[in-house]
Amino acid sequence: MTYETLAREKAGALIEKGHARILAVESSCDETAMAVVEDGRRLIAGVIASQIDMHALYGGVVPEIASRMHVEALDPLLDQTLGQAGLTMDGVDAVAVTYGPGLVGALLTGVAWAKAFAYARALPLVAVNHIEGHVSANYIAHPDLRPPFVCLVASGGHSHIVRVDDYGAYTLLGGTTDDAAGEAFDKVARVLDIPYPGGPLLDKLAEEGNDRAYAFPKIHTPGPYDFSFSGLKTAVINQAHHLRQQGEAINAADWAASFRRAVVDSLAEKTVRACLDTGLRRVALAGGVASNRLLRREIERLGKKAGLETFMPPAALCTDNAAMIGSAAFYRLMKGEIAPLSLNAVPSLGLMGD
């Protein structure tokens, strides 16, 4: 029998049982991650090999280094993940992998590894969209959460407000017209001499600052659920340079707090408005920026005021991880969506598969 026939038969049996233990692989950027997830909801094991220390030397992700480090990390991660799960390879029912969006070389390492594993073990292969993965982190953190709900996906490369109509079915309500929220955090952090990755450290610093200390320009956006951070980012960076040229000291904590306030107000207000306008009562956060402390507090506060139920994964499931990929993969697998061995990386993949 060919691999395709075996994989299809195995997938059919899993669909019939409504049960699958999935080994998931994530390598789209600067973390190599692997996890075992059961039935889309239960995280059995999850391991992450972070490359942050290496990229910090260069002030940002160096794609070629990222790819090489993924290649080195993948095999040892399998041993660690299975060890943590208390499983052998026989305990794995299917393999899932992020195939986009992300850095092409980085994605390819995970895709090639997952294809080889699937072929060698005659297991179904499931291709997962990284952004859908971020949304799905909520299914692991909140076992009772079911679509429909509104989700803000804010990461280093993406900022979207989506209506999650069903598992794997989305309506895009709005998004950034320029920089992603995480990108803006990272760029402003650099001006404050905060090392890469700037977002989390800027957030920490902002906790000690006064968010009314500096006045930054108001954000203008074309649509009610759209974002724009480029103008704010440029104004903030220019203002910092200007003050420095004049020999004025910048209070970094106040600066970070004032900038964070401007970004978070925009993200939180628009997300809650989108939820109310769609008539849905549940709002969720996803992506690296969803670990931002102020954003979490604001969504809780505004959500409560509007009578909404709020959902957000713990910080470790907001930033890149493989658990979220294993969750998204389960619902794809249950619909019979398995990938061929010709699967390729799609670096600019959109949430709607465009």
Residues near ligand KG4 (CB under 6 A): 29, 155-157, 182-183, 185-186, 197-200, 203, 287-289, 291-292, 319-320
List interacting residues with Zn ion (CB under 5 A): 155, 320
Query: In the complex, what is the shortest distance from the CB of residue 296 to ligand KG4, in angstroms, rounded to a whole number?
Result: 9
The token pair at 35 is 């996890």
Query: In the complex, what is the shortest distance from the CB of residue 318 to Zn ion, in angstroms, rounded to a whole number?
Result: 9
Binding partner of residue 186 among Zn ion, ligand KG4, none, CB under 5 to 8 Å per kind? ligand KG4
Nearer to Zn ion, 258 or 319 (CB): 319
Query: In the complex, what is the shortest distance from the CB of residue 155 to Zn ion, in angstroms, rounded to a whole number?
Result: 4
Binding partner of residue 30 among Zn ion, ligand KG4, none, CB under 5 to 8 Å per kind? none
Binding partner of residue 292 among Zn ion, ligand KG4, none, CB under 5 to 8 Å per kind? ligand KG4
Give the whole-angstrom CA distance, residue 70 versus residue 107: 9
CB 118 within 8 A of CB 338: no
Query: In the complex, what is the shortest distance from the CB of residue 221 to Zn ion, in angstroms, rounded to a whole number?
Result: 23
Virtual torsion, Cα 246, 249, 254, 260, nearest 10 deg: 50
Nearer to ligand KG4, 93 or 132 (CB): 132
**Contacts of the segment 197-203: beta carbons below 8 A, 24+ positions apart:** 197/52, 197/56, 197/156, 199/156, 199/288, 199/289, 199/292, 200/291, 202/256, 202/259, 202/260, 203/256, 203/260, 203/291, 203/292, 203/293, 203/294
Query: In the complex, what is the shortest distance from the CB of residue 70 to ligand KG4, in angstroms, rounded to a whole number?
Result: 15
Tell me the backbone φ, ψ of residue 337, rounded to 5 degrees: -85, 90
Binding partner of residue 311 among ligand KG4, Zn ion, none, CB under 5 to 8 Å per kind? none
Give the whole-angstrom CA distance, residue 202 versus residue 188: 9
CA angle at 251 for the pair 213 and 315, rounded to the nearest 5°: 85
Residues 6 or more apart in contact with residue 277 via CB below 8 angstroms: 224
Give the whole-angstrom CA distance, residue 86 versus residue 63: 33
Query: In the complex, what is the shortest distance from the CB of residue 279 to ligand KG4, in angstroms, rounded to a whole number?
Result: 29
Binding partner of residue 203 among ligand KG4, Zn ion, none, CB under 5 to 8 Å per kind? ligand KG4
Nearer to ligand KG4, 5 or 348 (CB): 348
Nearer to Zn ion, 179 or 254 (CB): 179
Nearer to Zn ion, 112 or 137 (CB): 137
Binding partner of residue 303 among Zn ion, ligand KG4, none, CB under 5 to 8 Å per kind? none
Give the whole-angstrom CA distance, residue 179 versus residue 51: 23
